């Protein structure tokens, strides 16, 4: 069992495939999260905006629908629709599913991050916004330069959590023919149909990645805390 795995992994250069899988997984999770943070911040700011005027009210409704849509359907379904329905419908052909996965993960994560970010923005003292407005800065400038940076600091642990969720969730991209971590390990077992070692190693690899990320988030948190308190 062990020997077979070693043979597949090293002698037959299975590790190249695995490294590619790690790369695809990281790409999807990292870029997905970045897109998610941008979308989430925009939605969160729209949702906490004062609603005196018509435009913010309309935008707010759109955001509510967006969140309902992306939180209300499984990500697998979103991937499948994106790759097998929307791409052909738009007449786009792609070499690999990775860009599609990145976009879907970003859109999906944006819905979740928006709620995280909203709670982060609401956790920042209202006085910060008032002080910004009182010196003559606009709502947008104060949000961008004062409130959101403090909000991000507050929600960093939760964002780390979201990143971990995304990393693990990437195991579904094999549905759209992307070779991620899961697929690359599965292929190691395919010749013999013995998946014991590949799947145990798969679990270990995910675990190591997640632990590394939690450690990195902790470091980042400590560093951001230093600027304050």
| Alpha carbons 225 and 183: distance in angstroms, whole number | 39
DSSP 91: T
Min dist CB 145 to another protein, Å, is 7
Nearest residue to 129 via CA among 153, 145, 152, 113: 145
Asked if 131 touches another protein (CB under 8 A), the answer is: yes
Asked if 138 touches another protein (CB under 8 A), the answer is: yes
Asked if 137 touches another protein (CB under 8 A), the answer is: yes
Candidate list 128, 158, 171, 187; residue touching another protein; CB under 8 A: 128
Size of the site for another protein (CB under 8 A): 21
Sequence-separated (6 or more) residues with CB below 8 Å from residue 178: 24, 28, 96, 97, 98, 101
Min dist CB 151 to another protein, Å, is 10
Annotate 68-77 with b (16+ C-beta within 10 A) or e (fewer). eebeeeebee
Asked if 150 touches another protein (CB under 8 A), the answer is: yes
Cβ distance to another protein smaller for residue 114 or 142 = 142
Candidate list 22, 49, 146, 201; residue touching another protein; CB under 8 A: 146
Cβ distance to another protein smaller for residue 90 or 135 = 135
Tell me whether residue 10 is exposed, middle or buried, using C-beta atoms within 10 angstroms of its C-beta: 0 to 12, 13 to 18, 19 or more.
Answer: exposed
Cβ distance to another protein smaller for residue 86 or 137 = 137
Cβ distance to another protein smaller for residue 156 or 165 = 156
Using CA of residue 98, residue 104, residue 107, residue 111, what is the dihedral sign?
Answer: negative
Asked if 190 touches another protein (CB under 8 A), the answer is: no
Sequence-separated (6 or more) residues with CB below 8 Å from residue 14: 8, 184, 187, 188
Cβ distance to another protein smaller for residue 58 or 140 = 140
Asked if 222 touches another protein (CB under 8 A), the answer is: no
For the chain, how long is the longest CA-to-CA vector? Answer: 71
Binding site for another protein (CB under 8 A): 125, 127-128, 130-138, 141, 145-146, 149-150, 153, 227-229
């Amino acid at each position: 069992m062990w020997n077979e795995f070693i043979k597949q992994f090293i002698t037959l250069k299975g590790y190249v495939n695995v490294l590619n899988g790690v790369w695809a997984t990281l790409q999807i999770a990292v870029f997905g999260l970045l897109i998610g943070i941008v979308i989430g911040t925009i939605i969160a700011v729209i949702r906490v905006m004062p609603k005196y005027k018509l435009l913010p009210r309309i935008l707010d409704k759109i955001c509510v629908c967006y969140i309902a849509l992306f939180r209300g359907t499984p990500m697998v379904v979103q991937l499948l629709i994106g790759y097998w329905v929307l791409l052909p419908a738009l007449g786009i052909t792609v070499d690999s599913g990775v860009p599609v996965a990145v976009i879907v993960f970003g859109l999906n994560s944006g819905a979740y991050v928006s709620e995280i970010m909203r709670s982060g923005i609401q956790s920042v003292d209202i006085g910060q916004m008032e002080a910004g407005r009182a010196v003559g800065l606009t709502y947008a400038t104060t949000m961008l330069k004062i409130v959101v940076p403090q909000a991000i600091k507050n929600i960093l642990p939760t964002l780390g959590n979201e990143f971990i969720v995304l990393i693990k969730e990437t195991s579904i991209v094999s549905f759209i023919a992307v070779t991620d971590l899961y697929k690359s390990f599965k292929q190691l077992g395919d010749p013999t149909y013995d998946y014991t070692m590949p799947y145990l190693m798969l679990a270990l690899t995910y675990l190591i990645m997640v632990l590394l990320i939690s450690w990195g988030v902790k470091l980042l948190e400590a560093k951001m805390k230093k600027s304050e308190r």
